[in-house]
Amino acid sequence: MSEKKSLRERILADTDALRDGYVRMCDEMIYEHVAALPEFIAAQTVLAYYSTGREVSSRRIIDAVLARGCVLCLPESLPGGVMRARRIADLSELVQGRFGIPAPPESAEIVPPDALDFVLVPGVTFDREGYRLGRGGGYYDRYLPQVRAFTAGLTRDALTVSRVPRDGYDYPVRCVVTETGVYRYV
């Protein structure tokens, strides 16, 4: 078993074992930290992710982007690990996407990577240098190098590791936000 796959399985098991109260507290504190980021406050076009299961909740962040009247994009996952940002005005527009994750419809406007100001990046875990371990599809690994926007990974301290195994195509985020604070990198 690869080092990444082994770590992914361990962290997903650790995620399932987290207490509900801890998860809710983390989600609240992470939202507060993201909402206070100068880069988030200044952003006019945001790519978020639609959280599912026990991922760090993105819902309040999405609501804040929409309430400010900013452009909100969510990812569309295509075959071959290709990802595109599509603009939505309301979560009611979402349809069933790949992997069962709600996604924008094909009719939604495609927003090019260079038009984004701020990108929320999900991950199974992040390390203290901004590298992430995702679910293994490579979508964000292929997408992030095209982005000039500020990138923020969201995770809980209990799931952060000292070092994520890396390959040549892994790409760090600019900061990782946990319940205890914001850790800035590149």
Please tell me the least confidently modeled range out of 35-44, 103-112, 160-169. Answer: 160-169
Query: In this predicted structure, what is the pLDDT of residue 138?
Result: 86
Q: What is the mean pLDDT of residues 96-120?
A: 94
CATH code, 62:
3.40.50.10420
Question: What pTM does this model have?
Answer: 0.95
pLDDT value at 1 more than 70: no
At 53, list the tokens: 């299961």
pLDDT level of residue 99 (50, 70, 90 thresholds): confident
pLDDT value at 135 more than 70: yes
Rounded CA separation 96/10 (Å): 28
In this predicted model, what pLDDT tens digit does every residue of 137-163 receive, in sequence order? 889 999 999 999 999 999 999 999 999
Look up the domain containing 118 and give its range.
Answer: 3-184
Q: What is the 3-state secondary structure (H, E, C) of 154-182?
A: ECCHHHCECCCCCCCCCCCCCEEEECCEE
pLDDT level of residue 100 (50, 70, 90 thresholds): confident
- 98: nearest Cα among 50, 46, 151: 50
Helix, strand, coil percentages (3-state) for the chain, rounded to 5, are: 35, 25, 40
Rounded CA separation 169/150 (Å): 19
In this predicted model, what pLDDT tens digit does every residue of 66-95 receive, in sequence order? 999 999 999 999 988 899 999 999 999 999
Instruction: Say how many domains are in the chain.
Output: 1
Query: In this predicted structure, what is the pLDDT of residue 7?
Result: 95
